[in-house]
Amino acid sequence: MKIYRRYLAREVSGAILLVLVAFLALFGFFDMINEVKSVGKGAYQLHHAVAFVLLRMPGRVYELMPVAVLIGTLYALSTLARHSEITVLRASGMSTRSLLSSLIMVAAVFALLTFVIGEAVAPPSERAAQQMRLQERGKAVGQELRSGLWVRDERSFINVRTVLPDTRLQGIRIYDFDKDARLRSVTEAEEGVYIPPASWRLSKVVRTSIMDERAELVRLPDLEWRSALNPDILSVLMVSPERMSLLHLAAYTRHLSENKQKTQRYDIAMWKKLVYPLAALVMVALALPFGYTHDRVSGVSLKIFTGVMLGVLFHMLNGLFSNLGAINSWSPFLSAIAPSALFMLAAVGMIWWFERR
């Protein structure tokens, strides 16, 4: 049986890698078309666009891996079924449980690969891509508000007009309040440079201290400012939560929690980082029943089309449950695991139905 397992693993792995490469080529093509629109803005040239697309590839691998596992396994099993090899394996004593365990062993390798890429490769690659793109286009990190970035740090509210790609701050205003929520001082600085481990050197500082009946203005050439705000927290502005590492997600979530801000979106992203690689195991279980049917080439094409539609549905459900969970304050764990759980139930139901036939 070990020979059959190796043969099955080789066929399924080859099909998965082939599908993954095809998807990466397709998405890379569309990403390149989208980036060409930005060529010529600032110093952004065609080779920068190519580098940007290549740097984002690890993130694409992370996103597409479960879908590639589904379609690749489905294609491999359909091909084996069309050649009656699945029938031979079952007739020789391989049970559904044994066949599923063989597929899960293959999927476990891809699940581990997905986790490693999502943690160690995709986040720094995505950050490097965004920094390179912003720097060459002569822009800084975009903020949602016209007044810039706003961050709360204990009893202080910090407004930063511009965050440069190297995390230097420009146009800084710090509003300090006392425990009774009364404004104590307003500090303005032209630029801030981070000094490890937990302070910033502010230059060209103007501080307005507000007393009971008067205000005092002080001008300083530079000032050391201690704050929980650091480059790791600022770096999340350039990377979506879904592409951040667990370490950065945990640090930023803790920062938000300490300042009594909502963490729902980042909690969901943390659980998704843990659950998402396991989707590869679900996908092979979902593909298994398709290997029990005998079809000609047209039937195989129909199965591949079905696999593509299921992959698209899984991708959409992932985004849907994340957004619904953030909007409705659902449990982050349930929001993250719901798509995989639904597909697993569908897989169990299909396997049971085919076994009953």
Question: Given strand 183-195, what is the order of strands in its sheet?
Answer: 149-153, 156-163, 169-177, 183-195, 199-210, 215-226
Q: Are 226 and 216 in contact (CB under 8 A)?
A: no
The beta-strand segments (E) located in the chain are 149-153, 156-163, 169-177, 183-195, 199-210, 215-226
Q: pLDDT value at position 60?
A: 93
Q: Are 295 and 87 in contact (CB under 8 A)?
A: no
Q: How far apart are CA 248 and CA 37, in angstroms?
A: 31
Q: How far apart are CA 131 and CA 125, in angstroms?
A: 10
Provide φ and ψ at 206, rounded to 5°: -125, 115
> What is the pTM for the complete model shown?
0.76
Q: Are 266 and 233 in contact (CB under 8 A)?
A: no
Q: pLDDT value at position 82?
A: 79
Domain boundaries, the chain: 2-137+265-356, 155-227
CA nearest to 77, candidates 293, 315, 268, 238: 293
Q: pLDDT value at position 265?
A: 84
Task: State which amino acid sits at residue 308.
Answer: V
pLDDT in tens, the chain (357 residues): 577 788 888 999 999 999 999 999 999 999 999 988 888 877 788 998 999 999 999 999 999 999 999 999 988 888 887 777 777 777 777 777 888 888 999 999 999 999 999 999 998 898 888 778 767 765 545 444 456 678 777 788 888 887 765 677 888 999 999 888 888 899 999 999 998 888 899 999 999 988 877 888 889 899 998 887 777 777 656 567 777 888 888 877 887 787 677 788 888 989 999 999 999 999 999 888 877 665 554 566 777 788 788 888 998 898 899 888 888 888 999 999 999 999 999 988 888 887 776
